Chain A
């Protein structure tokens, strides 16, 4: 199986480690070779958390610059920061709800304009699927389910070798009981949002 390389970037506390766990468990269930690597040294202190996930026949667990097939950004400025991992055929999925870093609060940085950010990514990557995942998470009944919303969108693109059915099964069995319902709802909302956006891009709506 040809390798597929996926990068997830998030701010500490956004739950990207859970989503990579779900992806890993799904791959195990579907008998897809998978290897993952995480950098979470200072995540609890509000830093950036990056996971790399490699499916298929490769032994490396990390992804070099320019070599991600898919990038999922849990926060728009972090998506932009991770663009060094992308190439012109990379599909990018991004949450559009900003979490302004503290450097902006103290005036030592300026948060990028969201429209400009999107057009930059669109111009460079193969495709950008961007929406406010926080709104959908809230709609699903748990603001912390942004990770599941984005996971739904990721699976919809068909860019990684995992099916909707497998991932949902893992969400049911491997995430905390109290959150299974909202997690599934969040996953579905993300999935259909990505579907809507892709139909729009293809001009069918």
Chain B
């Protein structure tokens, strides 16, 4: 049985923040969970996916975050506790649903987890999703540790039902990917069956209805503010004239810094865990007792702006600072030393920063960027497109997935990227206003996520580009999650249908559709060439299973290859493909047989035919 289902109440166990969040959902009796995978949130849904195989929980990988939220919203409005999990940028996709769902509200509890990623460890931006709570008018909770994340999740469901509103549960990478000793609570039996009672004048958001609903939302927000005033998650620690207001992981750095600086007797700390609506009276009373206040929050000055407005209301003129040229930045994540330094600087505490080691004479260390796996089919596809488009002036919009890594040399394929699905939409614009050949790339899962509307647009408006759909049969980047095109039967999962990318592409009216098997190099190049010649929208589906997923499934692999004596050192294999299985030893090219997946692409492009399967090697 799954470890999150077996842990007895009171048990102390080591949990990843994301495991703690999932356990919190189970302790709240969550019955429906939906998601589109995205780092740093992915392990929450991975655990739910596994748990749903052996419990009452209904879980689904939805096609995108908007759909995920709609599924959860309907379940919650049928009285069933639901959870919707996404990374921060997923909230942008779900925002259309979110902002009016706030008007409609919920009957059963609905918690929306947004996992923000300050410093962008694996994201395209570091937007601060706390503003979504303000924008939508929804209550928001922010945990500071894995233990609290678990406990707070249970309260988030209660709060949601009390207010009849979805609750935004906002984390950052350092909550999601921190591991701590967590003490477990009681599991709650989920109520899986709901009922929807027709009430169109509260559910169908035509203008006349929404005018009433907006007013209702504001009433609920007033109620939420009162709860926030007395919330156990908004607490004051310590005694002193100096005030600190902090949230999320920053609180941990503040507590450590106050101890390190030995200013425990001078500082009062207001820890905000219920961060929208902010507790006005609590904060104003706090400000009144402080000489000066520092606000410690990663990201944007979300609390700072409101705290300053609260001070103004009461005519308080004390110094309140946070984001400042000499203090905290809006960029990246914080760390303990940074918080210690800013506290010392703002409150005028004597402090000598600990000195690290002198790094001035360290030689330049070769970079170790992530790269496409050895034998990755994307590499073969990029190679085929490079060869087929030789001599053409091209623009290559790309998309979000492993294949984004193709933008690095030597594949150098990927010129523009802003968000999920943008490869297709931006291709329309580039092809309209430039005279260059536009060739864009999108993965299978991303195509389902938000690629399809762009393609329909392209057909309808008669745009001119070639879209390459990289179909490796799984959502690879985030850890091999299923998507609508996956053959679930082959993975031993019952109860799923399968959607064909080829059928969709043809159905939306693309007239030139071809399929390549990228490991067949010459044939692929010829097929791509033909597609590139087509005037209008042409689609190439490049189909080959993800090599890293095949390894996970322990599928039989091709025989590894080796570089034979015929090698004259052209190094086309390294210079054009850059497969990480290659290495140089004594100035000769070698292939690491452990890494080599036997895709044979390098063997096909070697001008000397010097790369051979290992079985042919004379012993």
Contacts and interface: CB of A to CB of B under 8 A. Distances in A.
Contacts of A106: 410, 574-575, 578
Nearest to A20: B179
B122 A41 contact: yes
Interface string B360-378: 0111111111111100000
B360 to A, nearest CB: 11
Given A60-B256, A125-B357, A103 B368 contact: yes
A21 B14 contact: yes
Contacts of B179: 20-21, 24, 35-38, 61
Nearest to A26: B14
Contacts of A12: 370
B325 interface: no
B363 A112 contact: yes
A115 B96 CA distance: 59
A102 B255 contact: no
Contacts of B181: 24, 27-28, 33-34
A46 B579 CA distance: 12
B359 interface: yes
A67 B405 CA distance: 33
Interface stretch (A83-91, A128-136, A153-161, A188-196): A83-91
B177 A39 contact: yes
B617 to A, nearest CB: 22
Contacts of A21: 14, 179
B214 to A, nearest CB: 40
Given A36-B178, A60-B252, A106-B575, A87 B582 contact: no
Contact of B405 (A11, A45, A100): A45
Contacts of A61: 174, 178-180, 249, 252
Contacts of A100: 366, 583
B336 A24 contact: no
A120 interface: yes
Contacts of B13: 28
Contacts of B177: 37-40
Contact of B357 (A39, A44, A88): A88
Interface string A101-126: 11111101111100010001000110
A44 B336 CA distance: 28
B371 A102 contact: yes
Nearest to A33: B181
Nearest to B580: A102
Nearest to A121: B357
A47 interface: yes
Contacts of A102: 368, 371, 578, 580, 582
Nearest to B341: A64
A105 B368 contact: no
A197 interface: no
Contacts of B583: 100, 105
Contacts of B405: 45
A28 B337 CA distance: 27
B227 interface: no
B355 interface: yes
Contacts of B578: 102, 105-106
A65 B341 CA distance: 13
B370 A111 contact: no
A84 B357 CA distance: 7
A105 B548 contact: no
Contacts of A36: 178-180
Interface residues of A, number: 61
A26 to B, nearest CB: 10
B372 A65 contact: no
A28 B14 contact: yes
A83 B357 contact: yes
A97 interface: no
The majority secondary structure among interface residues of chain B is: loop
Interface string B55-83: 00000000000000000000000000000
A120 B104 CA distance: 64
Given A45-B405, A46-B368, A105-B574, A58 B256 contact: yes
A108 B259 CA distance: 46
B12 interface: yes
A28 B356 CA distance: 30
A59 B578 CA distance: 43
B253 interface: yes
Nearest to A27: B181
Given A37-B177, A39-B121, A106-B410, A101 B335 contact: no
Contacts of B355: 66, 87-88
A169 interface: no
A90 B365 CA distance: 21
A61 B373 CA distance: 31
A61 B259 CA distance: 16
Interface in B576-619: 578, 580, 582-584
Contacts of B337: 64-67
A77 interface: yes
B524 interface: no
Contacts of B327: none
A42 interface: yes
A113 B337 CA distance: 32
B4 to A, nearest CB: 16
A180 interface: no
B503 interface: no
Interface in B367-413: 367-373, 402, 405, 410
Given A59-B145, A67-B337, A100-B583, A47 B365 contact: no
B365 A77 contact: yes
Given A44-B548, A61-B180, A124-B358, A104 B256 contact: no
Contacts of B402: 45
Interface in B535-562: 548
Interface in B248-292: 249, 251-253, 255-256, 259
A46 B370 contact: yes
Nearest to A87: B356
B121 A24 contact: no
A54 to B, nearest CB: 9
Interface string A38-81: 11111011111000000001111111111100000000011011
Contacts of B145: 59
B354 A62 contact: no
B228 interface: no
B264 to A, nearest CB: 13
Contacts of B371: 45-46, 102
Interface of A: 11-12, 20-21, 24-25, 27-28, 33-42, 44-48, 57-67, 77-78, 80-81, 83-88, 90, 100-106, 108-112, 116, 120, 124-125
18 contacts: A28-B12, A36-B179, A39-B121, A45-B371, A45-B372, A46-B373, A59-B255, A61-B178, A66-B355, A77-B368, A100-B366, A102-B580, A103-B367, A105-B574, A105-B582, A108-B367, A110-B364, A120-B362
Closest 5 CB pairs of A and B: A109-B366, A66-B356, A64-B337, A41-B122, A45-B370
Given A78-B368, A105-B580, A105-B584, 6 more contacts: A21-B179, A39-B173, A42-B122, A59-B255, A100-B583, A110-B364
Interface of B: 12-14, 39-40, 121-122, 144-145, 173-174, 177-181, 249, 251-253, 255-256, 259, 335-338, 354-359, 361-373, 402, 405, 410, 479, 548, 574-575, 578, 580, 582-584
